[in-house]
């Protein structure tokens, strides 16, 4: 396979497969699960695949320098682990040293990876201090060198970035610089670094971004990210802007593990519990056989599966006090009969019901209240 056909093949396949599954006359964008640090590891990706698979997955971001200098300070352990039976994700890497990016990108194919994504959007202060992530928006000459370095691996290179560092309007200068590098995919999180995830995504700039792509790099696929919660919302956006090639969903998965399903339907509590149990089983397997995992980190997922039914909040509270997956399973066995009985009257509906929203609003209010109490007491 020549270098250029190899570069094209991964994303071509994604586009072709998405179209092949398309039963409508509209062009279908591909959907991806966003890279999320401490979230989108091999465990959670497989849970999402069971709930409703996206077309593309990304790993958590991994520090390129730590990949090539194993004694470097950022952990790489487990971040790039992929199970045999899961879809090969795109590896997202970050860094500011082109030679390390080149070295890291060359390791990836030996691990089975077929595409590499470079993080140029992370707003985290430590990453910025390292001259990486969104800091590259302020150092576009270095950004170009990093892309060239990644290309030496022969893998298709994509970039995920924000509109600007200080202001969203910087995209008019920044995005053309990336587009001129002819990357395979440009993913745009429609906010500036300064806006973090707080301001609403700037959908008003999508058409301008697409026009830039058509003019400067017609082969580059444009993937849009920011505040898109479900496949249905993504399809609605792509209908308004048919030039969009891909839609990336991040936090939407925390509200709805079925965010990618093609025909949205309501799910029973049993189905959600099955997802939680799958996560527990995969956690134990990865922890024993692949890389040590911290049990505490599992707790952030409980509210994805346990919300919007009678006793959800008290069940979550019980689980937050556990110390092992065995304890979680014991509590589920003990409590679920009571919960199922209580939800029988509303047909075990888990998603799309007002109870889920009210339940989470109450949990958030409780959290704020306890933070305020803690502050007042300290």
Ligand X SMILES: Cc1cc2nc3c(=O)[nH]c(=O)nc-3n(C[C@H](O)[C@H](O)[C@H](O)COP(=O)(O)O)c2cc1C
Which residue number, 122 or 222, has a Cβ lying nearer to ligand X?
122
Q: How far is the CB of 372 from ligand X (least distance, A)?
A: 24
Tell whether residue 251 is among the known ligand binding residues.
yes
For the chain, first and last CA: distance in Å? Answer: 64
One of 61, 113, 165, 260 touching ligand X (CB under 6 A): 61
Tell whether residue 46 is among the known ligand binding residues.
no
Tell whether residue 71 is among the known ligand binding residues.
no
Query: In 3D, which of 58, 73, 79 has the Cα closest to residue 126?
Result: 73
Q: How far is the CB of 72 from ligand X (least distance, A)?
A: 17
Q: How far is the CB of 257 from ligand X (least distance, A)?
A: 14
Give the other-Cβ count within 10 Å of 241's Cβ: 15
Residue 213 to residue 316: CA distance in whole angstroms:
46
Whether residue 246 contacts residue 187, with contact meaning beta carbons closer than 8 Å, is answered with yes
Contact call for residue 128 and ligand X (CB under 6 A): no
Contact call for residue 179 and ligand X (CB under 6 A): no
Which residue number, 158 or 181, has a Cβ lying nearer to ligand X?
158
Whether residue 190 contacts residue 175, with contact meaning beta carbons closer than 8 Å, is answered with no
Which residue number, 60 or 310, has a Cβ lying nearer to ligand X?
60
Backbone phi and psi for residue 61, each to the nearest 5 degrees, phi listed first = -70, 145
The set of residues, in sequence order, having a beta carbon less than 8 Å from that of 94 and lying 6+ positions away, is 61, 62, 63, 64, 118, 119, 122, 127, 132, 133
Contact call for residue 227 and ligand X (CB under 6 A): yes
Q: Which stretch binds ligand X (CB under 6 A): 65-73, 82-90, 221-229, 341-349?
A: 221-229
**Biggest alpha carbon distance in the chain?**
66
Contact call for residue 47 and ligand X (CB under 6 A): no
Residue 154 to residue 6: CA distance in whole angstroms:
7
Contact call for residue 54 and ligand X (CB under 6 A): no
Contact call for residue 228 and ligand X (CB under 6 A): yes
The tokens describing 351, both together, are 């998603």
Q: Which stretch binds ligand X (CB under 6 A): 31-39, 68-76, 215-223, 263-271?
A: 31-39
Q: How far is the CB of 4 from ligand X (least distance, A)?
A: 26
Q: How far is the CB of 228 from ligand X (least distance, A)?
A: 6
Contact call for residue 249 and ligand X (CB under 6 A): yes
Contact call for residue 66 and ligand X (CB under 6 A): no
Cα 145 to chain centroid, rounded: 26
Residue 204 to residue 337: CA distance in whole angstroms:
49
* The residue to which tokens 């999320």 are assigned: 36
Among positions 187-216, residues that touch ligand X (CB under 6 A) are 189, 197
Per DSSP, the residues of 123-179 read --HHHHHTT-GGGGGG-HHHHHHHHHHHHTTSS-EEEEEEEESS-GGGHHHHHHHHH
Which residue number, 199 or 336, has a Cβ lying nearer to ligand X?
199
Q: Which stretch binds ligand X (CB under 6 A): 119-127, 151-159, 211-219, 342-350?
A: 119-127
Q: What is the CA radius of gyration of the chain?
A: 21
Q: Which stretch binds ligand X (CB under 6 A): 244-252, 305-313, 320-328, 330-338?
A: 244-252
Residue 155 to residue 161: CA distance in whole angstroms:
19
Strand partners, 56: 32
Question: Which residues are the active-site residues?
Answer: 122
Tell whether residue 250 is among the known ligand binding residues.
yes
Q: Note the residues at the interface with ligand X (CB under 6 A).
A: 34-37, 39, 60-61, 92, 119, 121-122, 160, 189, 197, 225-228, 249-252
Please enumerate, by residue number, every residue annotated as part of a binding site.
92, 160, 189, 250-251
Please enumerate, by residue number, every residue annotated as part of a binding site for FMN.
92, 160, 189, 250-251
């Amino acid at each position: 396979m020549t270098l250029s056909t190899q570069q094209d093949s991964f994303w071509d396949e994604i586009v072709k497969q998405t179209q092949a599954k398309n039963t409508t006359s509209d062009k279908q964008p591909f959907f991806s699960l966003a890279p999320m640090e401490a979230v989108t590891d091999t465990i959670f990706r497989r849970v999402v695949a069971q709930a409703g698979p996206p077309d593309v997955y990304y790993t958590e971001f991994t520090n390129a320098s730590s990949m090539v200098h194993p004694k470097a300070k950022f952990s790489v352990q487990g971040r790039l682990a992929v199970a045999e039976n899961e879809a090969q994700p795109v590896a997202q890497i970050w860094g500011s040293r082109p030679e390390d990016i080149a070295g890291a990108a060359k390791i990836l194919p030996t691990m089975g990876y077929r595409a590499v994504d470079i993080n140029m959007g992370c707003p985290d202060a430590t990453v910025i201090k390292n001259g990486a992530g969104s800091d590259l928006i302020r150092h576009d000459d270095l950004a170009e060198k990093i892309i060239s370095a990644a290309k030496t691996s022969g893998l298709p290179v994509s970039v995920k970035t924000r509109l600007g560092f200080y202001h969203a309007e910087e995209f008019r200068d920044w995005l053309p610089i990336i587009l001129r590098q002819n990357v395979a995919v440009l993913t745009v999180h429609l906010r500036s670094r300064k806006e973090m995830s707080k301001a609403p995504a700037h959908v008003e700039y999508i058409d301008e971004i697409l026009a830039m792509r058509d003019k400067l790099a017609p082969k580059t696929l444009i993937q849009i990210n920011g505040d898109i919660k479900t496949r249905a919302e993504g399809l609605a956006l792509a209908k308004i802007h048919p030039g969009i090639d891909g839609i990336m969903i991040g936090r939407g998965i925390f509200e709805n593990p079925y965010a990618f399903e093609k025909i949205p339907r309501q799910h029973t509590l049993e189905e959600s519990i099955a997802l939680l149990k799958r996560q527990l089983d995969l956690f134990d397997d990865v922890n024993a056989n692949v890389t040590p995992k911290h049990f505490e980190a599992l707790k952030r997922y409980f509210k994805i599966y346990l919300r919007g039914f009678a006793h959800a909040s008290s069940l979550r509270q019980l689980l937050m006090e556990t110390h092992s997956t065995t304890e979680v399973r014991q509590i589920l066995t003990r409590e679920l009969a009571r919960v199922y009985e209580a939800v029988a009257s509303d047909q075990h509906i888990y998603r799309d019901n007002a109870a889920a929203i009210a339940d989470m609003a109450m949990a958030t209010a409780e959290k704020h209240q306890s933070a305020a109490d803690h502050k007042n007491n300290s």
